[in-house]
Homo-oligomer: A and B are copies of this chain.
């Protein structure tokens, strides 16, 4: 892969956890780690777009991924600079040629899953219907298990403080899936957007990758995975009716309730290869 174009970036991640005192049921005062949460107002060419509440782990990637997933910017090349300033809780994105129709794009918003980021649902579905996910890639049960092992071993803010969702982008290396990126945030939408931003920054092609989320497989998660051209979507949690409907429609391979040696394969079964003795791996 050629070294991809990179805009000018700050590296302004915030501490992931903070400590506060709490009294437990035994009356003991405990120093308790809690997840960070910071407002971050996104400006594009000096125009205010949105304020996100974020853990602040990867604010530059979040800003880029938000613009990508909201279809406000067409490619990473259009972005000249991304500058986070926590003094003002802001991230300033400078584009090279401006964003056509930014106002119109920002106007109509859908709150997806009661948790929207202003995506225009109808337009999104049209776009989604145009996506063809790769059908020449397969995920074996053994590789799935290796991913779940990798996720379990991964050090997380969730283990320390809870109150965050995690998303991972992983390789589909046979029997040895490798986590390329693991982002946690107070909103899982931020986590998936940050990964989308990092994929742009690193020039990562999603078409053979696995997307893992600790969160629920709602319409929005399926849509965003599809937008990123990722054929494999895996979650520790359950799914919703609309998530299932859209997954069926786009033919993504969607696996829920994936923990240890358990999983439920819901859609896109043709890409999944069941190995003979899962118990032997247990």
Contacts and interface: CB of A to CB of B under 8 A. Distances in A.
Interface stretch (A92-100, A104-112, A173-181): A104-112
Q: Could you say which interface size class chain A belongs to?
A: 35 or more
Interface in A39-87: 39, 50-54
Contacts of A25: 141, 261-263, 278
* Nearest 5 interchain pairs by C-beta: A114-B187, A162-B238, A115-B115, A37-B240, A114-B190
A18 interface: yes
A20 to B, nearest CB: 6
B264 A162 contact: no
A262 B264 CA distance: 32
B53 A242 contact: yes
A117 B113 contact: no
B37 A113 contact: yes
Interface string A185-202: 111111101000000000
A150 interface: no
A265 B23 contact: yes
A257 B34 CA distance: 12
Interface of A: 18, 20, 22-27, 30, 32, 34-39, 50-54, 109-118, 121, 141, 161-163, 185-191, 193, 216-220, 237-244, 256-257, 261-266, 269, 274, 278
A244 B163 CA distance: 12
A92 to B, nearest CB: 18
A114 B52 contact: yes
A121 B89 CA distance: 13
A188 B34 contact: no
A163 B216 contact: yes
A111 B37 contact: no
Given A22-B264, A24-B265, 16 more contacts: A20-B244, A24-B263, A32-B266, A35-B241, A39-B121, A50-B109, A50-B111, A51-B111, A53-B116, A53-B219, A113-B187, A114-B191, A115-B115, A116-B117, A161-B238, A163-B239
Nearest to A29: B265
Contact of A266 (B22, B162, B219, B256): B22
Most B C-beta atoms less than 10 A away, residue of A18, A23, A141, A262: A23
A247 to B, nearest CB: 10
A134 to B, nearest CB: 21
B54 A163 contact: no
A25 B263 CA distance: 6
B244 A110 contact: no
A59 to B, nearest CB: 12
